[in-house]
Structure 1
Amino acid sequence: MKKLFKILAYVALVLVLAIGAHLYYLTTLAAKETYPEDTYLAHVENKNALIIVAHDDDMIGSSGTIATLCKNGWDIREMCFYQNGGLYAKKDSMKNPIRKKDLQRVADIQGLSGVDPVDFTFRNNTRSEESYMPMPYDKFAENFKIDSLTKIIAAYIEKNKPTVIFTLDSEMGGYGHPDHVLVSKIVLEYCQAHKSDSGFSVKKIYQAVFTPTLSERVMRNMPVYAAAKKVYQRDGMPFPDVQFNITANAALKKECMQAYTTEQNSLRQIWPYYHWYPASVYFGIFDRDFFRVIEI
């Protein structure tokens, strides 16, 4: 009996040490920089915002912020796109209905006012096996239906009249996906072009980004991220302007991430081991969302 107790105690000690070591490893990945806490969103009178992204899960890293805003009275809707055709037509036709259900579930968890998925294949070439790989900005016009996509995004903005729009960054698109860059560029360029129009509502664009240490430590081994820095000629994502503490809604953020049932492989690359730990532990380490804020 004593021998069994010693074995169990030894196993328990090893397990505790292993978990402790792994948690320490996660702290080495977390952002080391500190930015000003966002104050604008808490004091806006017209609490109306849009999320405009290429894919349904693109803003998942900011779900803690979005959930907090919804609790504080913000009216937020999301528009994203579903493409179907080319090499992955069969796969997309099977996955897209599941992804749309997951999108609605995430919206319910966060408290969004609604979601507006758009079935529109905005790529001209749907035969690429690596559509997520970056392409030079000057190749966008020949590879994307930019005019049609701009009309859809413009109509959405004008219909909903948001004060704030949330997107990914318009330079790297996060880890480098050209769809991300394109949609964010269109949002930014449209708002800048129409900011002087009578009644134009958008005051700020919040582009979700990682800090330099967070992006380099989490994505340094991702070939797409390394390629993006070369193709887009950037050192990384744009620097954040503000941070937003999300620990109060850590459980909701994890629940949102888990809800995208078909995208777990991708999410776990960007948020390594998030599914291993309670939300309070994991998002006690990765405790902030970061944004580049662009005045319109």
Structure 2
Amino acid sequence: MKKLLVVSLGIIGFILLLSPWILILFGKNHLHDHDIPQQEQLVEGQPKYRFLVVFPHPDDEVTVAGTLMKLKEEGHEIQLVCLTRGEKGKSSGIEDEAQLARLRTDEMHRAAELIGADQLHMKNYPDSGLEAVGLDSLKDAVAGIIAEIQPDVLISYDSKVGLYGHPDHRLTGQAVEEVFLENRGKSGFSPEEMYQVTLCKKQVKLALKLSAGFQKNYPEDPSLGLPEPDFSIQTRAYFPRTLDVMQAHETQQAVLKDLMPLHDKVPAWIYSRIFDREYFREVK
């Protein structure tokens, strides 16, 4: 009987030991399209580049934080642009928009420091108001930023959805994309490449089940959904620091939990092996 008990305990211990790895395998199979190629970096074997990363809101940079940290460690320059101060992001219960704008500006500065950005450029366009600004005015603003900073590579949202359907996201991606495509190769226009953060189909499918933001805003017609990724970047080593970036946005924890479900419940060493890559489309 004692021997049987020892064997049973050993089997249970073995199952418990295996269970996290089973969870990781299950998660990876349900979150990633393994036909999409992985590459080590956006630019490989190149000299130092200046990257201009343009997003509308404080906390949008979380979507590419691992890739940016990796670029910085490889010696590239990171210039972050945040078009608004996020005064409409009231999930924390703070109704005073001036106070919220100050708080979120401070949070964005902390996040930029954690990423290692060389410079953060905070603009003052209206949060959830880029439609009123208009695409042409937004393109003029983006063109001016590019002329000032003279980047080699651009990173932003896609122009079809804006990751999950927020109008500010989509318009930002559209403005950056159109400025790039209309001016690439012209004298005085420095960017040679542009990349857009996106998701694979499995991630979109899961997000539509778990995320209220996706359920509310994502297009019902699959043909109107996110562009297919061209590749992914392996970012597992940077996941603990990405969590720090997320925590820097103290006023937006409810939103971030919605977009990355259970990240505060599942141990980081497990979560990092499931959410171990960031997907991109190259604008050509």
Bin of the TM-score, shorter chain as denominator length: 0.7 to 0.9
Q: CA deviation at 1:84?
A: 7.8
Q: Number of aligned pairs?
A: 265
Question: Do structure 1's residue 195 and structure 2's residue 184 form an aligned pair?
Answer: yes
Q: One-letter code of the match for 2:77?
A: D
TM-score (ref. length: structure 1) = 0.79
Secondary structure of the corresponding residue to residue 43 of structure 1:
coil
Alignment of 1:1-296 (within 5 A): 20=20, 23=23, 26-27=27-28, 29-38=30-39, 40-82=42-84, 90-121=95-126, 140=131, 143-222=132-211, 224-226=213-215, 227-230=217-220, 234-295=223-284
- Does the 8 Å contact 2:228/2:281 carry over to 1? yes
- Cα RMSD of the aligned pairs, angstroms, is 3.0
- CA distance, structure 1, for counterparts of residue 258 and residue 186 of structure 2: 42
Q: CA deviation at 1:209?
A: 0.8
Q: CA deviation at 1:112?
A: 0.5
Q: One-letter code of the match for 2:173?
A: S
Inter-CA distance 92–29: structure 2 relative to 1 (3 Å threshold): farther
Which residue is equivalent to 2:4? none
Structure 1 window deviating more from structure 2 (259-268 vs 192-201): it is 192-201
Q: For 1:28-58, what per-residue CA distance to the aligned partner results, in whole angstroms no more than 9, with x for missing partners?
A: 6522434223355122324100110111211
- Does the 8 Å contact 2:58/2:85 carry over to 1? no
- CA distance, structure 1, for counterparts of residue 235 and residue 86 of structure 2: 35
Secondary structure of the corresponding residue to residue 291 of structure 1:
strand
User: Any gaps of 5 or more consecutive residues in structure 1?
Assistant: 1-8, 126-139
Secondary structure of the corresponding residue to residue 94 of structure 1:
helix
Q: CA deviation at 1:85?
A: 8.1
- Does the 8 Å contact 1:53/1:168 carry over to 2? yes
Secondary structure of the corresponding residue to residue 280 of structure 2:
strand
Inter-CA distance 273–86: structure 2 relative to 1 (3 Å threshold): closer
Q: CA deviation at 1:173?
A: 0.5
Q: CA deviation at 1:189?
A: 0.4
- CA distance, structure 2, for counterparts of residue 111 and residue 85 of structure 1: 24
Q: CA deviation at 1:252?
A: 1.2
Q: What's the % identity of the aligned pairs?
A: 24
- CA distance, structure 2, for counterparts of residue 248 and residue 221 of structure 1: 25
Which residue is equivalent to 1:136? none
- CA distance, structure 2, for counterparts of residue 112 and residue 256 of structure 1: 12
Inter-CA distance 94–22: structure 2 relative to 1 (3 Å threshold): farther
Q: CA deviation at 1:123?
A: 6.0
Structure 1 window deviating more from structure 2 (147-156 vs 286-295): it is 147-156
Q: CA deviation at 1:222?
A: 4.3
- Does the 8 Å contact 1:165/1:206 carry over to 2? yes
Inter-CA distance 245–177: structure 2 relative to 1 (3 Å threshold): same
- Does the 8 Å contact 1:33/1:213 carry over to 2? no
Q: For 1:45-89, what per-residue CA distance to the aligned partner results, in whole angstroms no more than 9, with x for missing partners?
A: 241001101112112121011001011111111111226889989
- CA distance, structure 2, for counterparts of residue 34 and residue 257 of structure 1: 29
Question: Structure 1 stretches (4+) deviating beyond 4 angstroms?
Answer: 19-29, 83-90, 122-125, 221-224
- CA distance, structure 2, for counterparts of residue 85 and residue 290 of structure 1: 28
TM-score (ref. length: structure 2) = 0.82
Q: CA deviation at 1:203?
A: 1.5
- CA distance, structure 2, for counterparts of residue 84 and residue 68 of structure 1: 26
- CA distance, structure 2, for counterparts of residue 45 and residue 104 of structure 1: 27
Q: For 1:83-110, what per-residue CA distance to the aligned partner results, in whole angstroms no more than 9, with x for missing partners?
A: 6889989532121111111111111111
- CA distance, structure 1, for counterparts of residue 87 and residue 108 of structure 2: 21
- CA distance, structure 1, for counterparts of residue 198 and residue 96 of structure 2: 30
Secondary structure of the corresponding residue to residue 263 of structure 1:
helix
- Does the 8 Å contact 1:83/1:92 carry over to 2? no
